């Protein structure tokens, strides 16, 4: 039995959804079919998160480095994203889910961007959960973009260098109000963070599972949350905080 303590829920869960290609390879089918199946997992995990009462869910959907992939795969992913957004809008509205995105969104193809902005606009006043899609996202690029933003403020004379604080850096990232994740999940068994939320995961608990993303189930998600609830977080101190 998987039992979740509703009083010890993480406020923010972030997920590196990896393993779609390997899932397809195992079945000798096209990688794109793996991404399609992965999109089904996304639906299930978003739904479960909302049912659980999570406030923030962030999904790594496309990295800045993923632009290096073959044009065909990129095209298929963009098309899939568009279809996913259109298909999820109604359920997001019913469940009070607000969609936002982080990353260099301006690099996405125009038609994908249009659907993305449309769904973000339509869900903007929803209050129950924030679903953040990391698209064309890189953690280093995010820190770089924040640094440029702060630099511009200094140039304009609005702030001085010694006024730069951790808080100011946090607030200059792509999503100003997003709290740091308490739990980071990575599927497909790779022990790396692949340029995801570098600044924000300073004290995040990490859960890595060998399960490939298309096979990641609701039960395994709940297990990850349960595992998190047993951890003792010390933040460098001696006592649990």
Q: Which residues bind Mg ion (CB under 5 A)?
A: 18
**20 part of the interface to ligand IPE, by CB under 6 A:** yes
Which region among 3-11, 81-89, 109-117, 186-194 touches ligand IPE (by CB under 6 A)?
A: 186-194
| Using rule CB under 6 A, residue 61 touches ligand IPE | yes
Q: What's the Cα-to-Cα distance from 82 to each of 5, 40, 49, 146, 198, rounded to whole Å? A: 35, 14, 22, 28, 27
Stretch of residues binding ligand IPE (CB under 6 A), selected from 2-10, 19-27, 171-179, 198-206:
19-27
Nearest to 132 by CA among 83, 76, 74, 92: 92
Kindly state whether residue 184 participates in binding ligand IPE, applying the rule CB under 6 A.
no
Residue 7 is among the residues annotated as catalytic for this protein: no
63 or 175, CB closer to ligand IPE?
Answer: 63
Closest separation between CB of residue 170 and Mg ion, Å? 28
**Does 194 contact ligand IPE by CB under 6 A?**
yes
Q: Which of 30, 66, 126, 171 is catalytic?
A: 66
Are 70 and 32 in contact by the 8 Å Cβ rule? The answer is no
181 makes contact with ligand IPE (CB under 6 A): no
Catalytic residue among 5, 7, 18, 158: 18
Q: 18 or 142, CB closer to Mg ion?
A: 18
95 assigned to active site = no
Which residues bind to ligand IPE, rule: CB under 6 A? 16-22, 60-63, 66, 77, 188, 190, 192, 194
Residues with a known catalytic role: 18, 66
């Amino acid at each position: 039995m998987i039992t979740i303590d509703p009083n010890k829920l993480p406020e923010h869960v972030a997920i590196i959804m990896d393993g779609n290609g390997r899932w397809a390879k195992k079945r000798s089918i096209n990688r794109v079919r793996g991404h399609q199946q992965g999109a089904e997992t996304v639906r299930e995990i978003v739904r479960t998160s909302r049912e659980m009462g999570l406030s923030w869910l962030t999904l790594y959907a496309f990295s800045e480095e993923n632009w290096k992939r073959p044009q065909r795969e990129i095209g298929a992913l963009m098309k899939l994203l568009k279809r996913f957004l259109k298909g999820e809008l109604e359920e997001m509205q019913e469940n009070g889910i607000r969609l936002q995105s982080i990353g260099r969104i301006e690099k996405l193809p125009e038609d994908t961007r249009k659907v993305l902005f449309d769904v973000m606009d339509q869900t903007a006043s929803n209050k129950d959960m924030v679903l953040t899609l990391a698209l064309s996202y890189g953690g280093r690029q995010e820190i770089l973009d924040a640094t440029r933003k702060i630099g511009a403020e200094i140039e304009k004379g609005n702030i001085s260098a010694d006024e730069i604080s951790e808080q100011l850096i946090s607030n200059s990232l792509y999503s100003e109000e997003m709290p740091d994740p308490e739990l980071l999940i990575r599927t497909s068994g790779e022990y790396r963070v692949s340029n995801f939320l570098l600044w924000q995961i300073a004290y995040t608990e990490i859960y890595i599972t060998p399960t490939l993303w298309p096979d990641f189930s609701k039960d395994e998600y709940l297990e990850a949350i349960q595992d998190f609830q047993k951890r003792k977080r010390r933040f460098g101190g001696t006592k649990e905080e």
